[in-house]
Structures are given as structure tokens and as C-alpha cells.
Structure 1
């Protein structure tokens, strides 16, 4: 299973295995990683799973869709590598993926 490392805003790391086919958000929820609220349950209807993809991985996860880009308008501190964790499906090729979490989800 691919390993994804979630780094909280304070630097605490959570390296967890995430089954291929699950979203980065689902991997966080199923492994009790704090900092991803996922209020809409992964329907791309909020921005409470906002993450910052490590720059080394940014080009390997595909582009933001129109709906995702629209939802990111509601997130604070959006950066070039900002994504919604519910919109990134984990694949074997993502082993070693690193994502950072904002201080708070809004």
C-alpha cells in the first residue's frame, strides 16, 4: 500500500498507509490524522480538507478541476500547491506522497 505523510501545521508527521483508490482525505480520516475536517464527506462541496501538496509531488497529481478550484475560493491561505484532499485519489505511484495541513480548516 502507498504511504502518505501528512504534516500538521506544527510539524508533527503522520506517515500512514492508504489503500489505492481511496482519496487522500479518506486516508487521513481512516487513520485519525488531525487537521482534515471533511465536513462534506468528500463531495467537493466545502474546503475543509484543504492541503498543501509538497512541491516535489505537485505535478504528479493532475490538475485541479473546476469544482475544486471553486471550493478553494473558500479556503484561507491558498497557495499554488493547494488542493482538496478529497479530490486526489491515491495510486501505487503515489507511495511517499507528502502533504501539509493548514493551521485551521474553514
Structure 2
């Protein structure tokens, strides 16, 4: 069963290759979605995939890449229509780095 999540990551998460590292990890896990910087200093991850892969990504996001310092993450369950409204049509199994929101 596919699950859909919005994950907001706070801390020192911009300017430390957080988005690209997240993209690489999500692609390793065969997840679909994207990541972007928010103007308030957080990083937003919109992702869909199976429960085990999502849990792996969430656990990785709690630490992030070596140069990051994650202080908090917030995970919100989405329904497919909300996910598609935000992300548009995405290629399954591909994870994007989007411009700052």
C-alpha cells in the first residue's frame, strides 16, 4: 500500500546539501516525490512509497547529511489527492529537487 507524507525538517538544513542528499537517499529507497527549501529556513519533503521505505527515509531525515544539524521533524499524513495537487504528475520512483517555495 502506498503512503503519502509531508515532512518538514527544521534546524541547520539549508546550505548543507540537505536537498540533494535527501534526493539521493529517496532514490536509493525507490521513493517518489520531491524536496525543497522553504523561505522560513525549513526543508519540505513530499514523498510517497511503501511503509518500510518511508520509515527508512524518516529515520535518515532525523539525522540528515553530515553537515546538517536537524532539530525537529514534523510528519503529516497526506491523501493521494492532496499529494497530487501539490506535486503534479510525477514519474514513479523518481525524486526531485524543487526550487525554493
TM-score above 0.5: no
TM-score, normalising length from structure 1?
0.29
Task: Give the alignment's TM-score, normalised by structure 2.
Answer: 0.30
- Structure with bigger strand share is 2
